[in-house]
Chain A
């Protein structure tokens, strides 16, 4: 990575969160935001909007983008597959199943929901949803890993196919639950699956920050081992790398990272697939450079996508997953066009 590229990426990562604070549904002038940052807001209400609503959203956006990109990049490297993506392991479908159960039990006006609420009066929908989604996402990864280990002898292609199969299985279960539930339940889960940072609060930053930081740090520590795996499993083994154990560790880290993100922000597709490919072109394939590049570019990318999500329409927010998928699919079409024989 040359200095010019390094400087550009660092500048992008610094400017994006700062500039991201200037966009939002509320009409805050540039001067009032600058005043809020440097001195004190003219109106207390602006304080709340800027620091309690907008700042957490920008910070969560950065962490989510960074986390997804890092997970994608690492999985692509260890599975030698440019299409590997955290979502391929059934994470979104698992989270969707968890979200469906939580919505039916805690977020609807059905008799079942009233019974659940009377049994667990302290559990609110906004707590039940991410908790159930996290458990569902992790459950999916565990099933995929068990299948891969016990049935497919850890062969990469089969692991990805197992992920696809588990995705369909869990989707079928959640679709059946939603089909049987009230119409609003399906509505809520579908909108949730489209992804959004609108729920971001500061406490989530404090949850996400250590998870993303520790994950990146651990992966960074294993950087040289992961680099060795780029040479192929056999070469890595001759260099002393415990390939199977390392692959399992990486999968678990990426699963935890993605499950945590999906649980709170819904399905934000294509970030983990697209950003690593862009970053590789700029910084190369070496794991440590790739990880840092993914954190900075992935984070910045999602901040700007979220700016679009909350600013494009006057009175509504566009679910962020729609925008990332739209950009991602176009990216892939052009990327494929470039590599055609």
Chain B
């Protein structure tokens, strides 16, 4: 069966490959209405495109793009583990915006081999959200809006940094996951947020970004604040039950903070809202402990 197909398929494939290249291998130029057709393969990219009012150019996205609410209506073409190659080719995007390290590299390599243009968002530092905004603004020709949002974001970030830079450090445990207990360290996105708020992450010295730690380590460090991000949409929370460890200052004085996990973990402008709120709550705890000395 396959053998009888093969000679035709080989010659056909060569011809088709050339045709495909002529069709989609051309550099991405403005298409319909002078706008690029975009497939955005990460929730944060979708969110940033909405921010700069380029949402009408998104023709497809990945499974977990859920903000703003209208983004849920965008057609899906896969998730962080696998892309629907056929569907993406059929959609004929002018550009695919992927997340470096967060989108499936092998599928993207294959799409690139088909001549599709792929560009990556790779935010590592908090300031990179502004860089991503500017990059997207340039891509979709919305520089003015993007630059304005980027400036605003950076100003708010700077403001938080200035406000808490001289504050006394307060020992904090950040719980990413409860079983096993997983926290943040090194260059992890939330660890940078903690540093900005003047919180002293009790596991800041570990080399991994998201290390697993033991309960004993947390108990012996006696953090004054425990941060357990929660999704606001979900009703079922899987956070560690700290209440039975009343000797931990954070539990004794009820400084268990629950920021919105979508805002904390996603590299978007919404992060700064949650960061301001989180820093303020940490500051309340700081003042409480100062007064109770």
For residue A234, CB closer than 8 A to chain B, the reply is: no
Please give me the residue from chain B that is nearest to A125 by CB atom.
B105
B34 in the interface (beta carbon within 8 A): no
Could you tell me the distance between the alpha carbons of A184 and B76 in the complex, rounded to whole angstroms?
Answer: 21
**Which residues of B lie under 8 Å from residue A51 when comparing CB positions?**
9, 12-13, 16
Contacts of B75 in A (CB 8 A): 315
A residues within 8 A CB of B1? 13-14, 17, 62
Say how far A23's CB is from chain B's closest CB, in angstroms. 10
Residue A45 CB within 8 A of the other chain: yes
CB-defined contacts of B82 to chain A, threshold 8 Å: 191, 196, 198, 316-317, 319
**Distance between B79 CB and nearest chain A CB, rounded to angstroms:** 6
Known: A48-B114, A107-B105, A205-B2. A53 touches B85 (CB 8 A): yes
> Which residues does chain A contribute within 8 Å of B109, judged by CB atoms?
124-126
User: How close is B188's CB to chain A, nearest CB, in angstroms?
Assistant: 10
The reply to whether the CB of B253 lies closer than 8 angstroms to some CB of chain A is no
| B84 to A, closest residue via Cβ | A25
Instruction: Assess the A316–B78 pair: CB atoms within 8 A.
Output: yes
Q: Which residues of A contact B12 (CB under 8 A)?
A: 47, 51
Residue of B nearest to A55 (CB): B9
Q: Quick one: closest B residue to A181, CB to CB?
A: B208
CA distance A180 to B3 in the complex (A): 46
Chain A residues lying within 8 Å of B195, measured Cβ to Cβ, are: none
Task: Please tell me which one of the listed residues A17, A47, A199 contacts residue B19 in the complex, with CB atoms under 8 A apart.
Answer: A47
Residues of chain A with a CB closer than 8 A to B273's CB: none
Q: Say yes or no: is A149 at the interface (Cβ < 8 Å to chain B).
A: no
Q: How large is the interface on A (under 10, 10 to 19, 20 to 34, 35 or more residues)?
A: 35 or more
What CA separation (Å) do A17 and B90 show in the bound complex? Answer: 22
**B residues in contact (CB < 8 Å) with A:** 1-3, 5, 9-10, 12-13, 16-17, 19-20, 23-24, 63, 75-87, 89-90, 92, 100-102, 104-107, 109-110, 114, 122, 208-210, 212
The residue from B79, B86, B100 contacting A109, defined by CB atoms under 8 A apart = B100
Q: Which 5 A-B pairs have the closest CB atoms?
A: A315-B76, A26-B86, A191-B81, A25-B84, A109-B101
**1/0 contact string of A288-324 vs chain B (CB within 8 Å):** 0000000000000000000000100011110100000
A70 → chain B, closest Cβ, in Å? 16
Give chain B residues whose Cβ lies under 8 Å from the Cβ of A49.
86, 89-90
- Nearest CB of chain B from residue A39's CB, rounded to whole Å: 12
**Nearest Cβ distance between residue A109 and chain B, in whole angstroms?**
4
Q: Least Cβ distance of B291 to chain A in Å?
A: 39
Cα of A183 to Cα of B187 in the assembled complex, Å: 13
13 A-B contact pairs sorted by A residue (CB < 8 Å) = A17-B1, A26-B90, A48-B114, A51-B9, A54-B86, A63-B2, A107-B105, A188-B81, A198-B82, A314-B76, A316-B63, A316-B82, A316-B84
Contacts of A14 in B (CB 8 A): 1
Q: Is A154 an interface position by the 8 A CB rule? A: no
A283 to B4, CA, bound (A): 26
Query: Are the C-beta atoms of B2 and A209 separated by less than 8 Å?
Result: yes
Query: Contact: A184 with B102, CB < 8 Å?
Result: yes
Chain B residues with CB under 8 A of A315: 63, 75-78, 84
Closest to B87 in A: A25
With A and B bound together, what is the CA distance between A187 and B209 in angstroms?
Answer: 15
Verify A26–B87 contact, CB threshold 8 A: yes
A311 to chain B, nearest CB (A): 11
Q: Are the C-beta atoms of B106 and A126 separated by less than 8 Å?
A: yes
The verdict on A179 contacting chain B, using a C-beta distance below 8 Å, is: yes
Q: What is the bound-complex CA distance between A315 and B77, given in angstroms?
A: 6
Residues in chain A near residue B63, CB distance under 8 A:
315-316
* Contact code string A110-127 (vs B, CB < 8 Å = 1, else 0): 000000000000001110
